[in-house]
Amino acid sequence: MSALEVLWCDNHVLAIQKPAGLPSVPDESGDESALDLARAWVKQEYNKPGDVFLGVVHRLDRPVSGVLCFGRTSKGSARLTEALRERRVQKTYLGVVQGELTGEGFLEQSLLKDSSRNRVNVVGEGTEGARLARTRWRVLRSGVQASLLELEPLTGRSHQLRVACATLGAPLLGDLKYGAQMALPDRSVALHSLRFLTPHPSREEQLRIECRPPRTAWWRIATEVKVLSGGGLVELEP
């Protein structure tokens, strides 16, 4: 079993740092998943007999890293899912894209998923089966070879942020599916779930879970960059 980095655990919520390359849940590959590892951790940590319940409330694409949350109880899972559905959860991502990009903005797109190719396309408004995606973006650091973006999905559509970056003419590093020129050495996509801010399922408080980007060469652009975190700024240290 691979090592698991736990970011938060209480009676109702478990949050882990998912490494790039690990599927969020079991898939057709048969590879070990984040859900498998999280269940095994709970079983060992709390000496649980039998099967361990963990509710899947959201997912990260296999090549994406960062904060991944599960519900430890049916109530916790249901309330986290409800908060996501009602858009009371704020998710913040970092992305490293090809080329020089500046500014900030808002994208609204109609996305249609081609399940046979596991690819999402931008289509015309009103296309049957399409879903509306809204994304806020801003450039934190701009360079000739690569730029660092802060991305906030206001909806939860498949591949939403990957498509948004491609639409800006700056595909995420390593994202061959959406226009990147070459793969990264570990086959990841340079997209990282930095922060998950949600109402706690059982307490009258906000739960903020964060984790820093991987320590790989393509994430060095994030070193010493400051991003908003609640009421203040967090510096992304090397």
pLDDT of residue 226: 65
**Record: fold of 5-236:** Pseudouridine synthase (3.30.2350)
CA angle 31, 32, 33 (to 5 degrees): 110
pLDDT on residue 55: 96
3-state secondary structure at position 52: coil
The tens digit of pLDDT for each residue in 67-116 reads 999 999 999 999 999 999 999 999 999 999 999 999 999 999 999 999 99
Residues marked active site are found at: 61
> Rounded to the nearest 5 degrees, what angle is found at the Cα of 145, between the Cα atoms of 144 and 146?
100
pLDDT band at 142; cut points 50, 70, 90 = very high
Asked if residue 54 lies in contact with residue 35, where contact means CB atoms within 8 angstroms, the answer is yes
pLDDT at 224 over 90: no
Q: How confident is the model at residue 205 (pLDDT cuts 50, 70, 90)?
A: very high
> CB neighbours of 75 closer than 8 A, spacing ≥ 6?
12, 201, 202
pTM: 0.92
Domain ranges of the chain: 5-236
pLDDT confidence of residue 223: 84
On the question of pLDDT at 180 being above 50, the answer is: yes
